[in-house]
Amino acid sequence: MLIALAIRLFTIVATVAVARRPAICRVVSMGGSILASAITGWLAVRVITSRAVIDGVLARHAASGIVFGYAVTPLSAWFLMVLALIAAPVAVYSIGYFAHAVPASRTATTGVGFNVLLGAVELVFVASDVVTFLFAWELMTLATAALVATDHEERSSRRAAYLYLVMSHVGTGCLVAGFLALASRAGSLSFSVLLTGDTVSGSLRHVLFVLFFVGFGVKAGLIPLHVWLPEAHPAAPSSVSALMSAVLITTGLYGLLRLCAFGLGVPSLDWGLAVMGVGALSAILGVLYALTENDVKRMLAYSTIEHAGIIVLGVGVAMMARASGRGDLAAVAMAASLYHVLNHAAFKGLLFLGAGGMAMGTGTRRIEEFGGLLRRLPWTGFFFLVGALAISGLPPLNGFASEWLLFQALLRGFASIPGLVRLNFPIGGALLALTSALAAACFVRAFGISFLALPRSRAAAEAPESPALMLVPQGYLAALCVGLGLFPGIVLQSLDRVLASLPGVQSPVALAPSSLAMASPRDVTDGVVPLGLAVAIGGGIIVGLLLAARRVSRRVPTWGCGGELTARTEYTATAFSKPLMMMFRAVYRPTREVEAMAEVSPYFPTEVRFRGRIEPTFERYIYTPLALAVLRVAVGLKVLQAGSLHAYLAYVLVLGVLLLIWLGGSI
Amino acid sequence: MTRDVLILCAAGMLVSAYLMVGQKALFTAIRLYAVQSLLLGTVAITMAIADRRDELFVMAALTITLKSALIPWFLMRVIDRIGIHREIEPFLNVPASLLVCLGLTAVGYRVSTGFPEGTQGVTHHLVGVALSMLLIGLFLMVTRKKAVTQILALLTVENAVFLVALGITSGMPLVVELGISFDVILAVLMLGILVHRIVDRFESMDVSRLSKLKG
Amino acid sequence: MGEALRAAVFAVLQAALLLAAAPLLHGVIKKMKAAFQTRQGPPLLQSYYDIAKLLRKEPIRSETTTWVYAAGPRVYFATAVAATTLVPVFVTAAPLEAVGGILLLVGTLALGRFALASAALDTGSPFGGMGSSREMTIAALAEPALMLGLFASALAAGSLNLGTLVRGLAEQGPSLHPSDLLGFASLFIILIAESGRVPVDNPATHLELTMIHEAMVLEYAGPDLALVEWASALKELLYLTLLADLFAPIGIATTLTPATALIAVTAWSMKVFLFAFGVTLVESTNAKLRLFRVPELVATSLGLGFLALAIRFL
Amino acid sequence: MNLLVWTLAAPLMTAVAGSLGGPRRWNEATLIGGLSLTFALCLGTAGQFLGGAIPTAFGNTLRVDGLSALVLVLCGFVGWVSGLYGVGYLRRNDAGGFLTPRMLREFYGLVPAYVFAMLLVSVSNNLGILWIAVELTTLASVFLVAFHNRDTSLEAAWKFLVLGSLGLGFALLGTVLLFASAQGRLGEGMSALEWTRFMRVAPSLHPFTLRLGVVFALIGYGTKAGLAPMHTWKPDAYREAPSATGVLMAVGMLNGALYCLLRIHLISKAAIGADFSAGLLLTLGLLSVLVAMPFLLIQWNLKRLLAYSSIEHVGIMAVGIGLGGEAGAFGALLHMTYHSLAKPLAFFSAGTLAQLHRSSDFDKIGSGTLGRTPVASGLFLLAAVIMTGSPPFGMFFSEITILRAGFTGPHTIATSVFLGALVVLFCGFWYQAGRMTLGPDPGRNANTPEPEVVDLGMAVALLTALIAVVSAFYLPAPLTALIRAATKVVGGGA
């Protein structure tokens, strides 16, 4: 651990040192980051395989006497592993990407930010006491904000960075309060004492739960605390967006697990319900917003919200399971969540990298202006397709595996938790199903409209393919998506070790005889989607090929309904999601303006303008009013400092008289 | 005997403070301040005689020369130089101000009952007067717009402090006293200089106009 | 190894059988429909002829398309075939039942849909876009209802693994618990929605505004089209089989002897025929719904599914 | 002769030398030389203390215990850097060519004089001398505030002087009352007002008189420290004063006044228990933090921004002490240290920005300074990170320490409010910092800045940046020892 962080630190210094030479600077910063990630990954794997917690002291802050402790528990190791798996390829990608996407003058700062961010996240995962955690947490926030503001000439990215800073700082405030209150009860700052679960009780416990839930919820981008996410993720350089989506939000999830699920003792059923509810809400709303989004990176950001929701849904189930003492169920749910953390990191990273390539090639992020990219960017397109399949939860890719587990958890939850509460599980299941189906629709749209048919703009028609440095990482991630889908057994075996380390969670191996074929990963092929199905599908494809083996003799234009077929007659992204938008009117509250300009008669318009937009409910009804109110109050209080010396003297007089009266009363 | 003198002087000082609140002519205000300081000096002398403490004589001399002669003279010069003689409309009209001052006096006296000697003994009166003077002075600063009036009010506050010093401690250590008086002079001088600069700049010494710096 | 080999053989056999049977189903339905409309109707084997003809035809593709377009039908077909290996048909066991059960079935079919919908976008014709948009929309709506319906019956057997599930049901024997009826109704609606039948979609029409599935595959011709048609038929057959498995596990063989096999096959064909008749009935007695009315239909199914759960377990 | 005396004599002589005027180079040399020497001597004195001795002078009038030593060193440091920067500042201004000899004399005379006063505050053991010294800081700084002789600077100076003198009146009354509360047990003569002596007779002080004294002293010295609601002079004074002297006030006056408050607090703590004065400090501290909030959010001027942030910080320290306990005091003193080490950076970078843009108003500076004056803006951003108590810098640790003390103690509600205020302040400060440094070049809508040159001022700014950063990770062991010693003085005992 020390080594990894040391390398990061060194890298940062080195980056600054060679700041003048962007090219070298890129290589140095990213190279260092790769090395560090590799070490972290190795460490994580070691911890997971040999369930031994590695801990120690990172540093001592002499002045304040504060000690930075770290402890790599299996849980943190799992998250570290995810980080390592994603961070390395992203770094490779960045070498190629920053060259085009980041102005030379900012290469150094971006490189530094990149490493600080990763280092901080690692520290968050391994922190073993409150101060270290908060330290890393804040550092992470700042680094991210800096990265988001990389091209700060854009108003949008400034806004995004600030919004992010404010929201996460409010979150941090909650965390500080929670942690310190906890620490004061436990009389110690170290997690090992703090999180035994019996430090607090009564109503304080609930207060703390809320504090932590809000605090971590902001980072995890849970609705309604998500507003920063769709702003910040797109604003950052794509490789950073990939990190943010794949890694940064997992810190929030890690926190939720560490504190809300396993930190405050056995959670109460209501907590579980609350978490489940928020998770489901985030999942469904996230995907719905993604569905109508025309900016590819914003679309991905919203889908990040969706997946955070799915993961949290699992956590909620696990909490309810613990609350009702069903370790086996908790195991399945946790397995699902943690598995999904890994999967989401893989495919979301992949997709963001792909989006980066597209944006770089075309100079725009608007899906409506892509089209036909598959011809120009064959590899990017292929990898994007893999990502799209995976994220839509389709077998035999990894997205399916974890969602399958989650369904299992929900089913078992219904079977094993008594009372009316159980009805939440089928509802959750239905919502989850809806979510993944909508996700499929969303990504058919994203892939189809951007990569297929005719180019919808010059830029799209002439977009160049990304350099190999950017393609190889995508290839790697795509392979990861497939591998994680085909061999869930391996994943589950390591997960088994992680889960065994969590209190109140029965190791899934104990579930062997249950109906969960795959939850007893005794042998690798015995998983949710073993090669069996892949083989079957493969067989089917072969049959299909054999049946229609004749090679294509003629290629003819597509029939354009009599007219000639141009990009303008193509189905647009907006049109694609129109039916769903109409069906979920209640959520979107769409507004549309159609104006037809006609010279001769209204029946022969020369030009028709259409503007449709959906209402950003949360911004409009929660955040904007809040901000305005605060500002109004501030402006109102301006009179305190109105420049009149007499007023100032009056303050003193009033204070004096008040104090005197107070004293006079105490005689 | 001593007791009566002390109480008389104290009462006199309080009255002078009230008079300051009550009228608007700057010269009168300055004279009132001079009288006030004179009374303060008398208090000092009386105490010096009463309990044989010679350094109090020095104190008294200092007070009288400085506060009832030097400073008033200086302030008068300032006014003459500027040629503004009346305090135009204060923030609060006279009757209202007087009422408020009554209230402040009440507070001062209430507090002064908390001292070791309680309600009897001269201390009670001296401190009561002093505290109310303090508050009244501050009140003057709040309500008056002319720079000079504010200086006077400030000096009234100083007087009040000294009165307390005499009343309950029969004087601070001499060196300290000297230092303090020295500082007071300096402060007044600077205030004077600033008033000059202000008047040069703004053709007025209405400090309520100094309100550019907001927010 | 022997295990795996047996599974493979089993799988191939079952797949082949269903593939062979699928077109017939369409023929039967068409025939029955014609009967309803007092028409002669096409011969029962018409679908076979069509497929054979299409397969022989010269493959033509649009010049705007990429490999995705070509992959579409093949993956669609492949997923349908692969799906057959997950469903117990004659025997209370599926070749790959250990693999993942109902969810995998749904997932696999969804994969096919994804492929076809993407492919439809590849031609650049507005129909393709419209078709795939609507197809995905309806699928998305149908998904939760389907999930609930499956949950309801899966919970009865306490497993999502079709093999285990059907075995469990078979042991219990056919029950007429109200929740079964509700669940059946709910799933039946979904079946109609998923297999593109009236009132959700109309496989017979090629009218711009009404077609969904047909719009999606409008550009396909020759062998490509053959695969699509065949796969659709297979899909529908699978759904019907699934219904049969879940709600009428009668006659399905628990052990494989010639006798039981014979019973199983006949029972299966009877059941499928019955359900097919039901489908036809619905098709011929209902008018197609407007697209934006479909949610109401699905909502009904959703409600039924939830009700089924509620009354069974509370 | 006694090192302590030299420590005080050095700046005094520098002041005399400076006020005599003379050739420019000579003045600069004396100022820098004198202040550097002063700083060295401060370190020396502190060294003596750490050596185990308690340096005293003039009997027991000047006495260096842990607290004094800490404040002494910090003030010495600030005096030194502000001297250095001041020279650079004047050079720059001279380029603008509107410095009369009188202004120069004022500057070269008053800055060291101010330093002297501030050091005197930090070492005087005699409440009377303490008062006089504080008064001196006021008097010395008035003309530094009025330095530029603009309308606004006169206004600021006037407000500053009036409020300051009033505050001192109160402080004096407070001192008198404290003296009275001993009812003659302190004996006669100079030494009667010695703090050590107060501590000795503390238990027998008359409670009510003491309370009254504490209240007045609190208002009085609170005015100097800039605790709300007596903070009102700060923004004006900071905006008008040259950055070099601004930092003298922001750190020197703040530390000095806080030092006085601490002494008073300790007396009353020893006499009637901590709660009374601690409660008052907590209240006013909290009030200050709250008052700073809206003005950071709607601020229009760079230096006023710094003023409100320093109100915030004094509030934080007051809260730290008010929360009581060793932890709280330690947090407060740690905060004081880091604040003193980092504030120069804030002021100098801001000052440089203001000078380059010939204004400190945001709308005149315009957005996107990072593009036009990268170095200064970069430094300011760094300062912003530090000032907002973000990791990895020092104030994060001190604030955490204070908060922890708060949540451990009985004042949980107050601490929560405090925490909330800190969050808002963070957001406010960053809003302003962001809108100034980031964004596109405003072009015509704002002053076009002079090009950045690495002159003395910039060099000093860089130096302070270095110090601020390094100090975050590594405080010299002796300094840490000083902080601990000071904590023992403040938090120790009761």
CA distances in angstroms from D59 to A189, C159, D63, D126, D224, listed in the order given: 47, 92, 9, 11, 28
For residue B158, the chain D residues in CB contact (below 8 A) are 169, 172
Q: Do D169 and B161 touch (CB under 8 A)?
A: yes
Q: Do D219 and A666 touch (CB under 8 A)?
A: no
A619: DSSP letter:
I
Q: Which of A193-202, D201-210, D372-381, D415-424 has the lowest mean pLDDT?
A: A193-202
Distance from CA of D334 to the nearest CA of B (A): 30
Chain A CB within 8 Å of residue B110 CB: yes
pLDDT score of C165 more than 60: yes
Q: Give the whole-angstrom CA distance, residue A80 versus residue A86.
A: 10
Beta bridge partners, B146, equal: B206
pLDDT tens string C65-109: 899 999 999 999 999 998 888 888 888 887 777 666 788 888 889
Q: Do A544 and C74 touch (CB under 8 A)?
A: yes
For residue C111, the chain A residues in CB contact (below 8 A) are 389, 394-395, 537
Q: Which of B203-207, D284-288, D344-348 has the lowest mean pLDDT?
A: B203-207
Proportion of chain D above pLDDT 90, given as a percent: 55
Helices (H), A195-324: 203-220, 228-235, 238-243, 249-255, 269-292, 296-323
Residue range B90-111: mean pLDDT, rounded: 88
In angstroms and rounded to an integer, the radius of gyration of the C-alpha atoms of chain B is 17
For residue C140, the chain A residues in CB contact (below 8 A) are 434, 437-438, 440-441, 580
pLDDT tens string C257-282: 888 889 999 999 999 999 999 999 99
Q: To 10 degrees, the CA torsion angle through A460, A461, A464, A470?
A: 40
Interface of B with A in 150-189 (CB under 8 A): none
Q: Give the whole-angstrom CA distance, residue B10 versus residue D22.
A: 52
Going by their DSSP bridges, the two strands D56-57 and D62-63 should be labelled as antiparallel
Identify whether the C-beta of residue D100 lies closer than 8 Å to the C-beta of residue B148: no
Angle between helices C2-36 and C222-247 (to 10 degrees): 100
Q: Which of A234-243, C3-12, C36-45, D128-137 has the lowest mean pLDDT?
A: C3-12
Residue range D417-446: mean pLDDT, rounded: 90
Q: Which of A313-317, A421-425, A466-470, A479-483 has the lowest mean pLDDT?
A: A421-425
Q: Do D439 and A173 touch (CB under 8 A)?
A: no
Identify whether the C-beta of residue A557 lies closer than 8 Å to the C-beta of residue C63: yes
Best B127, B142, B207 member to test A by mutation, with max A CBs in 10 Å, is B142
Chain B CB within 8 Å of residue D162 CB: yes
C94: DSSP letter:
-
Chain B CB within 8 Å of residue D142 CB: yes
Question: Nearest Cα to A121, choosing from A249, A222, A256?
Answer: A249
The per-residue DSSP string of A469-517 comes to HHHHHHHHHHHHHHHHHH-HHHHHHHHHHHHHTSTT---GGGGTTSS-G
Quick one: pLDDT at residue A514? Answer: 39
Q: Which of A638, A642, A657 sits opposite B107 (nearest CB)?
A: A657
Q: Which of B107, B113, B141 sits opposite A661 (nearest CB)?
A: B107
CA distances in angstroms from A515 to A339, C89, C162, C302, listed in the order given: 19, 21, 11, 26
Q: Which of A61, A149, A648 sits opposite D438 (nearest CB)?
A: A149
Q: Do C111 and A578 touch (CB under 8 A)?
A: no
Q: Give the whole-angstrom CA distance, residue D301 versus residue D290.
A: 19
Q: In chain A, where are the structural domains located?
A: 1-169+201-218+227-253, 266-546, 570-613, 622-665
Distance from CA of D349 to the nearest CA of A (A): 20
Identify whether the C-beta of residue C16 lies closer than 8 Å to the C-beta of residue C230: no
Residue range B100-112: mean pLDDT, rounded: 91
B114: domain range?
Answer: 2-204
Identify whether the C-beta of residue A362 lies closer than 8 Å to the C-beta of residue A460: yes
- pTM, to two decimals: 0.92
Distance from CA of A224 to the nearest CA of D (A): 20
Chain A CB within 8 Å of residue B139 CB: yes
For residue A651, the chain D residues in CB contact (below 8 A) are 229-230, 232
Best A394, A398, A572 member to test C by mutation, with max C CBs in 10 Å, is A394
For residue B114, the chain A residues in CB contact (below 8 A) are 663-664, 667
CA distances in angstroms from D383 to A205, A550, B142, D174, listed in the order given: 38, 72, 38, 37
Chain A residue whose CA is closest to D158: A645
Chain B residue whose CA is closest to D292: B215
3-state secondary structure D43-100: HHHHHHHHCCCCCEECCCCEECCHHHHHHHHHHHHHHHHHHHHHHHHHHHHHHHCCCC
Q: Which of B164, B211, B212 sits opposite D176 (nearest CB)?
A: B164
Residue range D223-252: mean pLDDT, rounded: 90
Question: What is the count of structural domains for chain C?
Answer: 1
Chain D CB within 8 Å of residue B207 CB: yes
Q: Give the whole-angstrom CA distance, residue D482 versus residue D340.
A: 14
Q: How many CB atoms lie within 10 A of CB D279?
A: 14
Tokens of B167: 């009343």
Judge whether B213 lies within some domain.
Answer: no
Q: Do B191 and D165 touch (CB under 8 A)?
A: yes
Q: Give the whole-angstrom CA distance, residue D487 versus residue D336.
A: 12
Quick one: pLDDT at residue D54? Answer: 87
Q: Do D397 and A63 touch (CB under 8 A)?
A: yes
pLDDT score of A512 more than 50: no
Question: Nearest Cα to C305, choosing from C145, C73, C100?
Answer: C145
Q: Give the whole-angstrom CA distance, residue B151 versus residue B149.
A: 5
Proportion of chain A above pLDDT 90, given as a percent: 41
pLDDT score of B134 more than 80: yes
Touching subunits of D (3+ CB pairs, under 8 Å) are: A, B
Measured in degrees and rounded to the nearest 5, phi and psi for residue D148 equal: -75, -10
Question: Nearest Cα to D150, choosing from D457, D357, D359?
Answer: D359
For residue B145, the chain A residues in CB contact (below 8 A) are 646
Quick one: pLDDT at residue D314? Answer: 95
Q: Do A538 and C78 touch (CB under 8 A)?
A: yes
For residue A645, the chain B residues in CB contact (below 8 A) are 207-208, 210-211
Identify whether the C-beta of residue D62 lies closer than 8 Å to the C-beta of residue D125: yes
Quick one: pLDDT at residue A530? Answer: 56
Residue range B183-199: mean pLDDT, rounded: 84
Residue range C232-261: mean pLDDT, rounded: 88
Quick one: pLDDT at residue A500? Answer: 83
Q: Which of A64, A161, A630 sits opposite D397 (nearest CB)?
A: A64
For residue C118, the chain A residues in CB contact (below 8 A) are 385, 444, 447-448, 452
Phi/psi-derived region of residue C38, left when phi > 0, alpha when psi is between -120 and 50, beta in every other case: left
C109: domain range?
Answer: 2-313
A332: DSSP letter:
H
Angle at C31 between CA C25 and CA C35, to 5 degrees: 145
Residue range A394-406: mean pLDDT, rounded: 87
Q: Which of A121-135, A614-628, D110-124, D213-227 has the lowest mean pLDDT?
A: A614-628
pLDDT score of D53 more than 90: no
Chain A CB within 8 Å of residue C147 CB: yes
Q: Which of A452-456, B88-92, D197-201, D349-353 has the lowest mean pLDDT?
A: B88-92
CA distances in angstroms from D150 to A544, B201, B202, D99, D241, listed in the order given: 89, 9, 11, 13, 11
Residue range B18-32: mean pLDDT, rounded: 87
Measured in degrees and rounded to the nearest 5, phi and psi for residue D468 equal: -60, -45
Bigger pLDDT: C234 vs C59: C234
Quick one: pLDDT at residue A524? Answer: 34
pLDDT score of A453 more than 80: yes
Q: Do C139 and A437 touch (CB under 8 A)?
A: yes
Judge whether B17 lies within some domain.
Answer: yes
Tokens of B114: 């908390």
Buried-state track D50-73, b at ≥16 Cβ within 10 A, e below 16? beeeebbbbebbbbbbbbbbbbbb
Residue range D241-270: mean pLDDT, rounded: 91
Q: Which of A1-15, A251-265, C172-186, D359-373 has the lowest mean pLDDT?
A: A1-15
3-state secondary structure D14-54: HHHHHHCCCCHHHHHHHHHHHHHHHHHHHHHHHHHHHCCCC
Tokens of D393: 């810098």
Q: Which of A372, A561, A570 sits opposite C129 (nearest CB)?
A: A570
The band of B119, judged by pLDDT with boundaries at 50, 70 and 90, is low
Measured in degrees and rounded to the nearest 5, phi and psi for residue D132 equal: -55, -45
pLDDT tens string D70-120: 999 999 999 999 999 999 888 887 766 667 888 888 889 999 999 999 999
Beta bridge partners, C304, equal: none
Distance from CA of C141 to the nearest CA of A (A): 7
The per-residue DSSP string of D335-371 comes to HHHHHHHHHHHHHHHHHHHHHHHT--BHHHH-S-HHH
Beta bridge partners, A67, equal: A60
Chain A residue whose CA is closest to C4: A532
Q: Residue type at C270?
A: M
Quick one: pLDDT at residue A531? Answer: 61
Q: Give the whole-angstrom CA distance, residue B153 versus residue B136.
A: 8
Chain A CB within 8 Å of residue D336 CB: no
Q: Give the whole-angstrom CA distance, residue D127 versus residue D182.
A: 14
Quick one: pLDDT at residue D19? Answer: 85
For residue C134, the chain A residues in CB contact (below 8 A) are 579
pLDDT score of A509 more than 60: no
Quick one: pLDDT at residue A532? Answer: 67
Q: Which of A549-563, B135-149, D25-39 has the lowest mean pLDDT?
A: A549-563
| Strand blocks (E) in chain B | none
Q: Cis omega before residue D392 (within 30°)? A: yes
For residue A561, the chain C residues in CB contact (below 8 A) are 125-127
Chain B CB within 8 Å of residue D235 CB: yes
Quick one: pLDDT at residue D133? Answer: 92
Beta bridge partners, A55, equal: A71
Bigger pLDDT: C254 vs A480: A480
Interface of C with A in 82-141 (CB under 8 A): 82, 85-86, 96, 98-101, 103-104, 107-108, 110-111, 113-114, 117-118, 120-130, 132-134, 136-137, 139-141
Identify whether the C-beta of residue D384 lies closer than 8 Å to the C-beta of residue D372: no
How many residues does this entry show for chain C? Answer: 314
Q: Residue type at D328?
A: G
Q: Give the whole-angstrom CA distance, residue B179 versus residue B40.
A: 18
For residue A667, the chain B residues in CB contact (below 8 A) are 110-111, 113-114
Question: What is the count of structural domains for chain B?
Answer: 1
pLDDT tens string C102-119: 888 888 899 999 999 999
Chain A CB within 8 Å of residue B138 CB: yes
CA D81, D82, D86, D89 dihedral sign is: positive
Residue range C133-139: mean pLDDT, rounded: 92
Question: Nearest Cα to A82, choosing from A319, A218, A251?
Answer: A251
Quick one: pLDDT at residue A522? Answer: 38
In the three-class reduction of DSSP (H, G, I as helix; E, B as strand; rest coil), residue B52 is classed as coil
